[in-house]
């Protein structure tokens, strides 16, 4: 077994591997610098509501574990500080999706009184025209309403959303 784990490596391959690792470490460090600066600037936008309603621990253990594993807890705290609410408590919304929501709609999401209105606005659920319990035919030549693709895509492509969706029979 020792023979199998001991390689016969060429020096040029080892050099390239070492350079690649240094580049990866440098880029990771730079991205961390950017992330800390973003968090610092967002923390300056703290609202009074966040002080009145402190951030609660995540109830969903799998979601809490994912936040910890990905190092997203600091950003979760900053997002709560900006809005005064924890958007990540909503099933299917993680830190990245909350960031996209706030970047598109701002800190005040009160224009959507209910979750149903928000889903309708995003057009995540297909429109089902019904009258008297019977489905209506779609009109010919009707142009579909535009939707906010940036936010809708955030919901459709996020892994935490796909995991939250019920499995379809098939």
Query: Is residue 147 within 8 Å of residue 123, measured between CB atoms?
Result: yes
Query: Whole-angstrom Cα distance, residue 134 to residue 130?
Result: 5
* pLDDT for the residue 1: 63
* pLDDT for the residue 146: 60
Query: Is residue 31 within 8 Å of residue 63, measured between CB atoms?
Result: no
* pLDDT for the residue 135: 73
Query: Is residue 93 within 8 Å of residue 156, measured between CB atoms?
Result: no
Query: Is residue 55 within 8 Å of residue 80, measured between CB atoms?
Result: yes
Taking the CA atoms of residue 159, residue 163, residue 168 and residue 170 in that order, the dihedral angle to the nearest 10 degrees is 70
Q: What is the pLDDT along the chain (170 residues), one digit of tens a residue?
A: 666 667 777 889 889 999 999 999 999 999 999 999 999 999 898 888 888 888 999 888 999 999 999 989 999 999 999 988 888 888 788 898 888 888 888 888 778 787 778 777 777 666 667 777 777 766 555 555 565 666 777 766 555 444 444 444 43
């Amino acid at each position: 077994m020792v023979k199998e784990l001991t390689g016969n490596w060429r020096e040029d391959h080892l050099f390239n591997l070492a350079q690649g690792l240094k580049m990866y470490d440098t880029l990771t460090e730079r991205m961390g610098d950017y992330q800390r600066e973003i968090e610092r600037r967002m923390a300056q936008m703290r609202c009074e509501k966040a002080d009145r309603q402190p951030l609660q621990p995540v109830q969903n253990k799998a979601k809490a574990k994912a936040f910890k594993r990905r190092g997203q807890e600091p950003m979760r705290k900053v997002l709560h500080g900006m809005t005064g609410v924890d958007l990540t408590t909503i099933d299917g919304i993680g830190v990245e999706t909350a960031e996209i929501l706030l970047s598109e709609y701002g800190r005040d999401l009160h224009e959507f009184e209910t979750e149903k209105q928000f889903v309708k606005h995003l057009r995540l659920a297909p429109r089902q025209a019904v009258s008297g319990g019977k489905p209506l035919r779609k009109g010919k030549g009707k142009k579909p309403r535009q939707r906010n693709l940036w936010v809708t895509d955030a919901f459709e492509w996020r892994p935490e959303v796909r995991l939250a969706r019920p499995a379809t029979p098939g």
